[in-house]
Structure 1
Amino acid sequence: MKMEIREVGVELEMKEEDRVKVKMENKEEDGWLRVVVEIFLIADLTTLRKCFRGRKVVRTEQSKLREKFLSIYGENCQNLDRNAFGPDSDFLRQFLYFFNAENIDDFLILVQICRLLQQFVQESGDVVQLFAAEDYLSRCALVNYRVKQFVYTCIRAVHHNRYYLKDQLLLTLKESNTSAIPLLEVLVLLIDPKLPWSCKIVSSLSKNSAFSLLREIILTGKKCFRGRKVVRTEQSKLREKFLSIYGENCQNLDRNAFGPDSDFLRQFLYFFNAENIDDFLILVQICRLLQQFVQESGDVVQLFAAEDYLSRCALVNYRVKQFVYTCIRAVHHNRYYLKDQLLLTLKESNTSAIPLLEVLVLLIDPKLPWSCKIVSSLSKNSAFSLLREIILTGKDNAENCIYSEKGSSLERVLTVVTCHIGQKPCICSPTDPVYSFSSQILSIPFLWHVFPNLKQVFAKQGLGQHYVHQMATWLPNLMNSLPNDISDELPTYACLLGNILETGGIALSRPDCSFDMAVDLASVTTFLLESYPSPTRSDGRENSKIADDEMTGEDEVMEVVLDGKLNQQISNAIDTRFLLQLTTILFRDFSSANGSDREPEDKEVAAVGAVCGFLHVIFNTLPLEKIMTVLAYRTELVPILWNFMKRCHENKKWSSLSERLSYLSGDAPGWLLPLSVFCPVYKHMLMIVDNEEYYEQEKPLSLKDIKSLITLLRQALWQLLWVNHTTSANSVKSGPVSTAVKKQFEAIQQRVSIVVSELLSQLQDWNNRRQFTSPSDFHADGVNDYFISQAVIENTRANEILKQAPFLIPFTSRAKIFTSQLAAARQRQGSQAVFTRNRFKIRRNHILEDAYNQMSQLSEDDLRGLIRVAFVNEFGVEEAGIDGGGIFKDFMENITRAAFDVQYGLFKETADHLLYPNPGSGMIHEQHLQFFHFLGTLLAKAMFEGILVDLPFATFFLSKLKQKHNYLNDLPSLDPELYRHLIFLKHYEGDISELELYFVIVNNEYGEQTEEELLPGGKNIRVTNENVITFIHLVANHRLNFQIRQQSSHFLRGFQQLIQKDWIDMFNEHELQLLISGSLDSLDVDDLRQHTNYAGGYHSEHYVIEMFWEVLKGFSLENKKNFLKFVTGCSRGPLLGFRYLEPLFCIQRAGGNASEEALDRLPTSATCMNLLKLPPYKSKEQLETKLLYAINADAGFDLS
């Protein structure tokens, strides 16, 4: 037989012959381990030594587990969620293993766990599901065991601390802010007879002597209750004695009563009861008399200490502390009765509240020797939480109060407390964050609106630096220190944020504002802003792909709508001045022109981290336009951030900035946060930078730096989108992180990937305007055949990259994907409509009208299907030839040439002969918008069929096909002269208002001039140096977007009938032109020769073939295009080369023999087969003459 003793996981085995029974207890009196050994036969000392060693091992393990537990769940269990109580979690097992009732920290953790448990049950209403998930029956053994252990632990904890808790044991649920009530209420919750484990719990409690523990708890509470009754009797007797001595109105009181040898204050403070109105009125009278005595003598210290403060300071300090706290308690308890008096001034001293508040001002004066002692005592005794409730009660009446320069008495109380803590030297003991002035008072909604004088003192005396630094030291647990929310619209953190920001701007403007103050301010506000709800997208933000992920499932939350005034307070505080001052202070020691190649020092890292953390969160919470303009044009943010990132990149050592956001860890890439700020600001800057600044002056970054920037952006984007996509969760802080935190980290990754994509796309546009780096610099190194094969499959990661960052993939690869998409679409259409064909007769001299009348009637499905054309010549005779595709190609080339001809009036040309919609088209064609819809369809049909057409469009119009907005730097392609005028205005150093310009623009179409306002009332708004940038933007927007918006919109609708938006979104405007027209370079004869077949006796080395290629190579570009049209029906070759010509070009021998009659024939073609029928000419000259005649004969398809 073996006997077993279990002590917190340690098992001792004792042999039967030892027959030793060991009982171990912790002696409460002296804390030593008391071992009581009952020896039945012989005590085995070896067994005892093993037991001691086992307990030592267990304590070590408990200590390690406690540290691990706190690192995971937080010191206040702030990381705890409802899943922690489930059967699959180790939370309860770990806690119950290391819990020690003697350890006050463990006890407080248990109290917090009980509070959270009550909260989770209240939210779900099902305690069984909380502990057992969805399957109690199969997990009942484990669940019952854990609940039994937890219940018994709560009882043991209350029992061990019963003397400390004696005043709380008989309180009710209303006093849940105490320590005992949460534990006792959890017992009520878990022993409910309706629960399936109820009998098991009660039985276990009985076996473990829990009822004896409960008995001792009850007796302790009962003793306390009896003690209170005795105290009340004594207080009543003392009150009677007090009144008999000093009078009911203290009329017998003199100044000596406050001295150290008098029992007056001791007696009064002993019997005073804030609930007793008579006691309260006595206190008011005492305060009046105290003020009178001080006013007479002018020395409050002498009043309380007589002539010897130093020797009596302990007693004096104690009495003053008690008296001050009593005054605060009295006002707090009667705050609703006094609510109309709380914000009155000293002039209304005949009220009840003012004497008490003025005595507080008198006794907390920072000049007094006990000042630090008083303020420390107030903090420890939760006095600031009482003051908070007093202020909240009185502030609703603030509008009815008359403003005074000295402020209300309550404001004066806060001022002396504030001034004391901020003054040096200060010997106040460290403050518990929960009960601190910062948490309790600074989080009151609109504090500065109620107490404007306090705001000035707080800001101008530099006190904000003390409190902001104090809160910075509490990060990341600041949220746990804040009081409960007043309402959903006024959450405490947001009220604190608004108050800090409102005075933060004043603090930053002080000449003595330090670097550390700016860092602390940025850190605290960043932390609070992380919880700030994002605004709706109707706030005037830039057109961006960035959008907040919708939360679904159990993380779905109701939309948070903050109070309008609170939103306004926060947004108004982060104004131009605030941003300029913050960035100036943080960056004043760092130059954008720093030529050092060394990695950044700690101070620079702190500055960049503080700025980027702050700006990152406000980018996602506040309207962007105002913020971006300030950061882009009035700070050195872009060059300084680039200088920092460049040195980190070159040294291949990125500093961790993870502490700047609560949901990042040290594993997060060091470039993640800087890029989240740099990219949108630089992108905004590039919208107004002109060509001279960018290319010639190289502002704000040199072209060399931009090349390095492209490399950095490309590598970072590839890392985010491809390399790290599957391992992104590793960068989230360790431990059981909530889904919301994971979503936040994923959101910043997505946000950064989008802003990097947008900036790279913009830099590619600048490179297309004037090349300063190789186009291949935008291509990712990791793009291979496997990636391309995945990119064509919907919903793959490669496909998502293709949509978001197509420039990472070479153009040829994207063009192949595009052609495969078109081929698949044509194949789908062909399989659905095998027998449907539309055959049109088109008169060559009325090609546009006939095509419009017939094709406009077709449905989208018909447009995607085969269309066959028969041409009718000028004599009304149908031309020879059967349309196998070649005639349709010829038709498409001719109709596009006619429809887009500027003579027709629908399109105009730029100075570079590039096409764009005619703003005055409505003056020429009544149905001009219908025609634009048709032309969009026509262009889309050409692209859908893979037919290249000679239509050189202006870049700003091609942007419309991608539904992009055009900006100032697109204007030179439309109106170079207007662009020069606007740039002149932008750089004009004089007074622009003297130029007599207004916010109007003159339209001049076909000799008819009209004046149009750029803004409502624009004809009365003069252009000045302050609004000239807005004027320039509006003029460019009018010319590039507004004037042609209707024409572009109808064209786009027609275009998108056949070409999906996502098909062309993977191309920039320059590449889109290549898809439409192919390369502008000369026809590649060598490529055509390499992909040519031969028939009828010809082969690649035949002398006629050799002559043919020599002749073709010598043709002019125009003749080469005519030749290509002669043999294929289209004057332009396939986009990706002649290997993609279907079918391949073929040269067939014509005439059979070399007779004179055969050699006199002209070459003929079959365009549907891409076939050239070439007679065997004897000489090179004859071949050239005949071929030139044939391709330039303009004989329709009569030579086919």
Structure 2
Amino acid sequence: MLPFAQEKRRKINLGGATSVASQTDILHSAKARRSEREENRRRHESALCIQSRWRSFQQFRVVKRILAEMFQEDVLGLNGMRALVLIGNNDQLLAQWSESVIRAGDGWSLQYVSGSDMEHWLVLVRQMVVLLLISVANSPRAPASLNHLQILDKFLSPTSNAQALGACAEDLRINISNYLLRRRLYPLLAKALGNIPVDEKGSPSIPLLVPLLTHPLRTFGPSHSDSFLEAYTSLFQHILTLPLIPNRFPLTSLTQFSANLPLAAAFVLSPSISRLISVLGVEERVNLLANIAAFAPPRYTTLPSTSLTTLLNLLAAVMRSLPTGVLGPNPSAAAGKQVAESESDSDSEDPAHISPANRVPLPRLDERTLKRLQTLPTPTHINSLIHATQSHTMSRIALCDFLFALCIVWPLRSDSVLSTAVVSTSGGFVRELYRGYVRSSPLGKEVGLITLLDPANADTWLPLLFLTDLYTHSLLTMGDDEFFSGLDAPARANAPRNPLSLDEIISLSRKLLNISFTLFWREGQIGVQSGVVPGLNVKWESVTRKVTRFLQAVHARDSRRPFTPPGHWLVNEHIDIASFAEAAIVEEQQFVRPDGVRSFSRRTIADLSPRLGVLNNIPFAIPFEARVNIFRAFIRNDKHSIGADTRSFFRRTRTTVRRGHVAEDGFDKLADADLKHPIEITFIDQFGEKEMGIDGGGVFKEFFTDLSKEVFDSDRGLWLVNKKNELYPNHGSYATQPHSLNWYRFIGRILGKALYESILVDVAFAGFFLAKWLGRQSFLDDLASLDPDLYQGLIFLKHYPGNPEELSLNFTIVDEEFGVTRTIDLKPNGSNVPVTRDNKLEYILRVSHYRLTKQIKEQSTAFFEGLSDMIDPKWLRMFNQQELQVLLGGVNTPIDLNDLQKNTNYGGLYDDKEPTILAFWRVVEGFDSEQRRALLRFVTSVGRPPLLGFSGLVPKFCIRDGGEDENRLPSSSTCVNLLKLPRYKSERVLRQKLLQAIYSGAGFDLS
């Protein structure tokens, strides 16, 4: 009887009794009865299923017992093998069978191979070896596994059965190997190896397991290409992705595996690299890198070019697929360890590539794996690759792919990688890439996004981007004499030369300018920046940064010593400059937060505004005059936003300053003042009395002129001058004291006020210091202006033909102050790190960085904090160092007399037709360039004309009647750009008196 036969039957009312119930109650009752019936049906079916399974299990036990008895009756016979195959995984019986096979020797196989039961035996033996393999994978350290492994070796080894079986041996081996490949040979071998702890390399199973890894590869030859590819791919996918392969094998087995690993056939992986990587996890990819790094390098020079190319492409593809930081610290977390500090915006923190794995938590890697990976970016490894790929074109491009990916995934080692590539090839790699691949590339020949996104150009991006990185890095340690080699005179034998000619640099920079402008100027091209470069897993924003760094470095050389044709850097033909300027001014206003703060990175600005992206990254693409007008418009907008343009009576700062104590009083009273609003200065004379007059701007200019003379005096201890009389912060300990840093902060605010009010300053700053205003770093080429002797010494070291270790240098530098010297490490434990051929460029970079940046870091930071209070940093980034100096102090060009005369006002009895005025202009016309500068300095305090001409001089140049006394010298009021000129009747006297005044120091006249 069924278990539920006694269940309660359904009740049916036959009595006709009526009941009062609602329709809802009836429906609920019907639903409940229906559910009850369904549950009873399910329970009934489940009971039937359980009973069926139980009967099957009972019957299986009976059948299994019968099969076991059959096996015991004929262990090595066909019936016994059939029984064991049907039984399946039974460790005890498998152990008995394998032990019997071992005892029987080769004769057991031979009797079946040469007999009529060959086909039946082969079918059974293939299934038996699968069972043995599974047993080994589950319990590799079990005693029976040793016999199992010997039998597997007997059937898979190219030499085991060759003598006993003769001609049949190869066919048998190929048949069984193919069968095992289709039944997860390599995943099961990987499982077996993984089940043996790494440190148990003395396990007796390992010497028997290791040969099985390469037997199929030795079995399958060119005639079995599909099987060979399957085995080869499986070896890379399952075995070489195991952690610490070299640490798992004893020395003998490791040597055997390395010798039988057919890296020369790596070319077969070429079509399947992407598929291979896609099925691997992050940790497996890292292990694959580490294991290839262990086995491949000693054999680079013996590999065919096709296989070396494939290995390099595989390594590169694996590295590009890894998350940022998996091989070392995240670049943003370790930015302080960089040789050159990153720019002070968030761009430097962005990963240079994208990968789905970036969203995966980083695995904890074994220290031994990390140590093995650290060999990849070493100079020794890179040099071996450079040597191995020297005569193979495709391998050379693959090397670019490898080095480029290495710089991306390991950004803290990129400097070392690029330096090694530059030094090892003496610049030849740069020439090879440009002339062999980049020169004929269609990329950048014209402005347009279609060419950049065209998949047909995918192969041209890699050499272009790596060349960009390589040459930009080489510029860091390239002096101007090397950059301009051969320009002034024929090059000497063995003299250092620029790897590219100036004509090639001109052509390359124009290509890259077109690419950069296209990427910034992408209004309406939503999604471009979130995509990747065709053929590379690299973001467009990374391309933009690389190209921009190159252009900025080359443009800096061109600014210092022009070599490009006129208009080379401009994109006027692609945009309307006037419309560009108007739109940029409007867009900039959108970046002002409600609190008035502008705090956006270059990347954010470029994403939101293509015009501001151009102005902040490649400003030289826009004419200088247009950028100056945009700069001044930004300031006008800022004044309007804070109400400073109304010259509010209540918002101005009023203060008194004592004559002779201008700097001291200015610092005490204006250090924390709101300098964006008007400043009203009242001078206190030597008698303690206030000087009469109202400050309408002129008195403040006088105050500013006097203040500049005091604070920039090098005798005060805050500033030093180079041989060109250019200022830079003092690097002594006094300059880093809190009080001195407050002075730098104050001076920065005052100079910001000068830029804010378009007041010219008669002071010149060193270029490397101005670079810090722009958030840029200075390198070897700037060191010549600071320390010519040190510069020449580093140039000598760079091109030293012998072994640099002969010079007994290490990574330290000596600092001297007040006769006391101290040795400073340029890197951790630098005193114990010798300068060698491989690291000499790093040494040059670190020395330059220390002298130009690190020594004055605190002073520069304080100065820039003050400057940023007045001027938005992104406004300054519209200019380079030379242009910034012009913005501060005017144009270092001859004075245009016609422009000055047209923009001169007259006062008193003078007008432009008065005889004395006519004589004045004739006299000035006869002045030489230096005399004209002296006159301009006498009247305005600055000897250079305004950058946009005298129409921009505020207030205008003015000449006023100075009386009839011809014995009196001309005088000036520099605060209002006023020349007080007596009414000389003789032109000769006018010339004599004017020259005497401008050179004798006669100046400000209170009358």
TM-score by length of 1: 0.67
Q: Which amino acid aligns with 2:867?
A: F
Give the one of 368, 371, 387 matched to 2:173.
371
Q: How far is the alpha carbon of 1:1022 from its aligned partner?
A: 5.5
Would you say the 8 A contact 2:746–2:863 is kept in 1? yes
Aligned position for 2:188:
386
Give the one of 211, 216, 223 matched to 1:417.
216
Alpha carbons of structure 1 residues 909 and 585: separation in structure 2 relative to 1, 3 Å: same
Aligned position for 2:97:
286
Would you say the 8 A contact 2:711–2:747 is kept in 1? yes
Alignment of 1:1049-1064 (within 5 A): 1049-1064=861-876
Q: Does 1:400 align with 2:207?
A: no
Alpha carbons of structure 1 residues 900 and 985: separation in structure 2 relative to 1, 3 Å: same
Q: Which amino acid aligns with 2:465?
A: S
Alpha carbons of structure 1 residues 1195 and 870: separation in structure 2 relative to 1, 3 Å: farther
- In 1: Cα distance, 2:225 partner to 2:851 partner: 68
Alpha carbons of structure 1 residues 375 and 907: separation in structure 2 relative to 1, 3 Å: same
Give the one of 316, 322, 330 matched to 1:532.
322
- In 2: Cα distance, 1:241 partner to 1:643 partner: 77
Q: Which amino acid aligns with 1:756?
A: V
Q: How far is the alpha carbon of 1:411 from its aligned partner?
A: 2.0
Would you say the 8 A contact 1:703–1:772 is kept in 2? yes
Q: Which amino acid aligns with 1:579?
A: I
Alpha carbons of structure 1 residues 713 and 871: separation in structure 2 relative to 1, 3 Å: same
Q: How far is the alpha carbon of 1:1037 from its aligned partner?
A: 3.3
Alignment of 1:234-245 (within 5 A): 236-243=65-72, 245=73
Q: Does 1:820 align with 2:610?
A: no
- In 2: Cα distance, 1:664 partner to 1:949 partner: 48
Q: Which amino acid aligns with 2:632?
A: T
Q: Decide which moves more: 1117-1126 or 372-381.
A: 1117-1126
Aligned position for 2:667:
852
Alpha carbons of structure 1 residues 671 and 991: separation in structure 2 relative to 1, 3 Å: closer
For residues 196-242 of structure 1, give each alpha carbon's deviation from its aligned partner in whole angstroms, at most 9, with x where no partner exists: xxxxxxxxxxxxxxxxxxxxxxx9xx999999998886664343233
Would you say the 8 A contact 1:325–1:378 is kept in 2? yes
Alpha carbons of structure 1 residues 1164 and 884: separation in structure 2 relative to 1, 3 Å: farther
Q: How far is the alpha carbon of 1:1003 from its aligned partner?
A: 3.4
Give the one of 585, 606, 610 matched to 1:797.
610
- In 2: Cα distance, 1:690 partner to 1:787 partner: 36
Q: How far is the alpha carbon of 1:631 from its aligned partner?
A: 2.3
What SS class does the counterpart of residue 563 from structure 2 fall into?
coil
Q: How far is the alpha carbon of 1:895 from its aligned partner?
A: 1.9
For residues 836-887 of structure 1, give each alpha carbon's deviation from its aligned partner in whole angstroms, at most 9, with x where no partner exists: 333444343333223233323x33x2x2222233344545565565432222
Would you say the 8 A contact 2:895–2:932 is kept in 1? yes
Alpha carbons of structure 1 residues 549 and 1160: separation in structure 2 relative to 1, 3 Å: same
- In 2: Cα distance, 1:632 partner to 1:693 partner: 14
Q: Which amino acid aligns with 2:184?
A: S
Would you say the 8 A contact 1:879–1:1198 is kept in 2? no
Q: Which amino acid aligns with 2:786?
A: L
Q: Which amino acid aligns with 1:239?
A: A
Q: Which amino acid aligns with 2:276?
A: L
For residues 470-518 of structure 1, give each alpha carbon's deviation from its aligned partner in whole angstroms, at most 9, with x where no partner exists: 4432244335655xx5xxxx644444444344433344x242x112112
Would you say the 8 A contact 1:460–1:510 is kept in 2? no
For residues 232-255 of structure 1, give each alpha carbon's deviation from its aligned partner in whole angstroms, at most 9, with x where no partner exists: 866643432332x34xxx5xxxxx
Alpha carbons of structure 1 residues 383 and 230: separation in structure 2 relative to 1, 3 Å: farther
Q: How far is the alpha carbon of 1:815 from its aligned partner?
A: 1.9
Q: How far is the alpha carbon of 1:756 from its aligned partner?
A: 0.8
Alpha carbons of structure 1 residues 1107 and 459: separation in structure 2 relative to 1, 3 Å: farther
Q: How far is the alpha carbon of 1:757 from its aligned partner?
A: 0.6
Alpha carbons of structure 1 residues 1176 and 242: separation in structure 2 relative to 1, 3 Å: closer
Q: Which residues of structure 2 form unaligned runs of 5+?
A: 1-47, 160-168, 486-495, 589-607
RMSD: 4.3
Alpha carbons of structure 1 residues 717 and 741: separation in structure 2 relative to 1, 3 Å: closer
For residues 131-182 of structure 1, give each alpha carbon's deviation from its aligned partner in whole angstroms, at most 9, with x where no partner exists: xxxxxxxxxxxxxxxxxxxxxxxxxxxxxxxxxxxxxxxxxxxxxxxxxxxx
What SS class does the counterpart of residue 916 from structure 1 fall into?
strand
For residues 753-791 of structure 1, give each alpha carbon's deviation from its aligned partner in whole angstroms, at most 9, with x where no partner exists: 111111111112222343332474233343432223233
Aligned position for 1:1180:
987
Give the one of 795, 801, 826 matched to 1:983.
795
Q: How far is the alpha carbon of 1:979 from its aligned partner?
A: 1.8
Give the one of 298, 306, 311 matched to 1:516.
306
Would you say the 8 A contact 1:379–1:431 is kept in 2? no
Q: How far is the alpha carbon of 1:904 from its aligned partner?
A: 2.7
Give the one of 870, 874, 880 matched to 2:682.
870
What SS class does the counterpart of residue 869 from structure 1 fall into?
strand
Aligned position for 2:563:
772
Aligned position for 1:648:
440
Aligned position for 2:6:
none
What SS class does the counterpart of residue 908 from structure 1 fall into?
strand
Alignment of 1:77-92 (within 5 A): none
Would you say the 8 A contact 1:1082–1:1117 is kept in 2? yes
Alpha carbons of structure 1 residues 315 and 713: separation in structure 2 relative to 1, 3 Å: same
Q: How far is the alpha carbon of 1:364 from its aligned partner?
A: 0.7
- In 1: Cα distance, 2:777 partner to 2:228 partner: 57
Q: How far is the alpha carbon of 1:561 from its aligned partner?
A: 4.0
- In 2: Cα distance, 1:727 partner to 1:926 partner: 49
Aligned position for 2:657:
842
Q: How far is the alpha carbon of 1:1021 from its aligned partner?
A: 5.8
What SS class does the counterpart of residue 683 from structure 1 fall into?
helix
Aligned position for 1:439:
237
Alpha carbons of structure 1 residues 1123 and 958: separation in structure 2 relative to 1, 3 Å: same
Aligned position for 2:953:
1141
What SS class does the counterpart of residue 1003 from structure 1 fall into?
strand
Q: How far is the alpha carbon of 1:973 from its aligned partner?
A: 0.6
Q: How far is the alpha carbon of 1:751 from its aligned partner?
A: 0.6
Q: How far is the alpha carbon of 1:409 from its aligned partner?
A: 1.8
Would you say the 8 A contact 1:418–1:458 is kept in 2? no
Q: Does 1:709 align with 2:508?
A: yes
Q: Which amino acid aligns with 1:838?
A: T
What SS class does the counterpart of residue 771 from structure 1 fall into?
coil
Aligned position for 1:302:
110
Give the one of 685, 690, 694 matched to 2:483.
694
Alpha carbons of structure 1 residues 1180 and 224: separation in structure 2 relative to 1, 3 Å: farther
TM-score by length of 2: 0.78
- In 1: Cα distance, 2:173 partner to 2:1000 partner: 108
Q: How far is the alpha carbon of 1:976 from its aligned partner?
A: 0.9
Q: How far is the alpha carbon of 1:958 from its aligned partner?
A: 1.8
Would you say the 8 A contact 2:444–2:515 is kept in 1? no
For residues 1051-1102 of structure 1, give each alpha carbon's deviation from its aligned partner in whole angstroms, at most 9, with x where no partner exists: 3333222222222122222222112211223322122123345678976566
- In 1: Cα distance, 2:786 partner to 2:824 partner: 19
- In 1: Cα distance, 2:687 partner to 2:717 partner: 28
- In 1: Cα distance, 2:128 partner to 2:350 partner: 54
Alpha carbons of structure 1 residues 998 and 669: separation in structure 2 relative to 1, 3 Å: closer
For residues 653-685 of structure 1, give each alpha carbon's deviation from its aligned partner in whole angstroms, at most 9, with x where no partner exists: 99xxx9xxxx98715665433333222222222
Q: Which residues of structure 1 form unaligned runs of 5+?
A: 1-218, 251-256, 342-350, 591-603, 732-738, 1152-1156
- In 2: Cα distance, 1:430 partner to 1:1017 partner: 51
- In 2: Cα distance, 1:994 partner to 1:560 partner: 44
Identity among equivalent positions (%) equals 29
Would you say the 8 A contact 2:811–2:832 is kept in 1? yes
Alpha carbons of structure 1 residues 1040 and 1011: separation in structure 2 relative to 1, 3 Å: same
What SS class does the counterpart of residue 845 from structure 1 fall into?
coil
Q: Which amino acid aligns with 2:406?
A: I
Alpha carbons of structure 1 residues 1096 and 670: separation in structure 2 relative to 1, 3 Å: farther
- In 1: Cα distance, 2:581 partner to 2:702 partner: 34
Aligned position for 1:632:
422
Give the one of 123, 129, 132 matched to 1:324.
129
Q: Which amino acid aligns with 2:69?
A: E
- In 2: Cα distance, 1:705 partner to 1:402 partner: 61
Aligned position for 2:17:
none
Aligned position for 2:470:
681
- In 2: Cα distance, 1:525 partner to 1:551 partner: 16
